[in-house]
Amino acid sequence: MRKIRLYIVFLVLIALLTPVAVIAAPAESSSVETIKEELQTNINIVWTCIAAFLVFFMQAGFAMVEAGFTRAKNAVNILMKNLMDFSVGTIAFFLIGFGLMFGKTNGLFGTTLFGLSGVEPGADWNWTFLIFQTVFAATAATIVSGAMAERTKFVGYLVYSFFITLFIYPIFGSWAWGGLLDGGGWLEKLGFLDFAGSTVVHSIGGWLALAGAIILGPRIGKYGPDRKPKAILGHNIPLAALGVFILWFGWFGFNPGSTTVGDGSIGYIAVTTNLSAAAGAIVAMCVSWVIMKKPDASMALNGALAGLVSITAPCDGVTPVGAIVIGAVCGVLVVSSVLFIDHVLKVDDPVGAVSVHGVCGLWGTLAAGLFNMESGLFYGGGLKQLGVQALGAGTAFVWAFGLGLILFYAISKTIGLRVTPEEELKGLDIGEHGMEAYSGFQIFTTT
């Protein structure tokens, strides 16, 4: 009897469970899909945020590079400029810039998403995207401080950094990158390739830096009466080297992060980025070794940065060998450009920002048209891609350099762009900020 009862219970249980199992089977497989999707979304958010934090750390890198390559008497000023262009830029980009760049476009620029209006506070993707884009905008802004180092009035610099993140950077950005969110621009519709911003971030910053350095004029003592350039030594090469390593580290967020997707492409882009930087450093060192008879540390450091800048546009679509070639070419380019700007153009760029970011950003953008595995000239893609790249890079030059000249000229005629000669000689730390960077140390201030 007991056996029969057990048997019945067993049958009843089976009868009860069967429909459940039948119903559960498809439900379970669709929930696996949802979970996979949700996981991927969250991985994307986590990776994009980590990348944003890495790019934020590049601010520290820029601050150290610029402080190291300039004189001790201006170190506080350089650090304040780096702190404030990020802070002012963050607010300006949040309120206006982001909307101009990524809002629904009117054909020329975005017109929605100002201050992220209409986006619920919470887990929305837009917040992740905002912090990621904010650190990019601030990178473009901070490039300029190096080229304008040691002679710029602090107030004038604050005004400049407000305007670059307010509209100069975002409007060009909307032409090339607007489609990453709600916008869309004419350059990206033409097929312009700028994966992480050789043009959008670095060239824009570099050409603005050129405009600023031209309007400012050279530092006192940079050019002798015979117009021959003189060396004004940076005061701390270890700091500059630390800055370059920090920037290199941050670039692993800058390029691989621009996928905004957590998958295998992160690793691949990290490889091409790293190869190009290494090639740039090696070649720049070799070129300086031949020209100046010694492997010059500041040129090798600039070479690494040049390699990073130039691989920024093509990093996702080139072969590893292509990445090495791109980096190697800019190793030559950065040294010759530094010498050309110093000796021929006679524009005083204390840290080489125009060469590293402007010129190598331009090369990187063109390199995407040469080395891209699908559409590049060297891979049978013809001249079309290269033409589009040249158009984009040329537009960036006209836009940033032209607006830069107007902006810096307007600042110099109103609130003033340059400090007095007395203040420049004494140092901007005391003149602008009333304190010294190295109180208690004995410093030879002879230039």
Partner 1 sequence: MRLIVAYIQPHKLQDVKKSLYENKVFKMSVTNALGCGEQKGYHESYRGVDFEVNLLKKVRLEIAVNEEFVDTTIDAIIEGAKTGQIGDGKIFVLELAKCIRIRTGEVGSKAIG
Instruction: Name the site residues for partner 1 (rule: CB under 8 A).
Output: 221, 425, 430, 434-436, 439, 442-447
Asked whether the CA dihedral 278, 284, 285, 286 is positive or negative, the reply is: positive
Q: How far, in Å, CA of 143 to CA of 305, rounded?
A: 12
The residue among 344 and 435 lying less far from partner 1, judged by its C-beta, is 435
Burial 350-379 (b: 16+ CB within 10 A, else e): bbbbbbbbbbbbbbbbbbbbbbbeebbbeb
The residue among 103 and 427 lying less far from partner 1, judged by its C-beta, is 427
Q: Which two structure tokens, joined as six digits, stand for 32?
A: 């696996």
CB count, 10 Å around CB of 119? 13
Q: How far is the CB of 429 from partner 1 (least distance, A)?
A: 9
Q: How far is the CB of 417 from partner 1 (least distance, A)?
A: 21
How many CA within 13 A on the CB side of residue 210? 25
The residue among 345 and 425 lying less far from partner 1, judged by its C-beta, is 425
Q: How far is the CB of 433 from partner 1 (least distance, A)?
A: 9
The residue among 380 and 434 lying less far from partner 1, judged by its C-beta, is 434
Q: Which two structure tokens, joined as six digits, stand for 136?
A: 């990019």
Q: How far is the CB of 74 from partner 1 (least distance, A)?
A: 13
Q: How far is the CB of 442 from partner 1 (least distance, A)?
A: 5
Q: How far, in Å, CA of 115 to CA of 100, rounded?
A: 11
The residue among 182 and 436 lying less far from partner 1, judged by its C-beta, is 436
CB count, 10 Å around CB of 344? 9
The residue among 222 and 357 lying less far from partner 1, judged by its C-beta, is 222
Q: How far, in Å, CA of 378 to CA of 166, rounded?
A: 38
Q: How far is the CB of 432 from partner 1 (least distance, A)?
A: 12
Q: How far is the CB of 230 from partner 1 (least distance, A)?
A: 8
Q: How far is the CB of 445 from partner 1 (least distance, A)?
A: 5
The residue among 127 and 154 lying less far from partner 1, judged by its C-beta, is 154
Burial of 29: CB neighbours in 10 Å, binned 0-12, 13-18, 19+: exposed
Furthest CA-CA distance within the chain: 118
Q: How far is the CB of 440 from partner 1 (least distance, A)?
A: 12
The residue among 104 and 433 lying less far from partner 1, judged by its C-beta, is 433
Q: Which two structure tokens, joined as six digits, stand for 191?
A: 């097929």
Q: What angle do CA 305, 256, 35 make, to 5 degrees?
A: 165
The residue among 191 and 221 lying less far from partner 1, judged by its C-beta, is 221
Say if residues 233 and 447 touch (Cβ distance below 8 Å).
Answer: yes
Q: How far, in Å, CA of 23 to CA of 26, rounded?
A: 7
Q: How far, in Å, CA of 327 to CA of 333, rounded?
A: 10
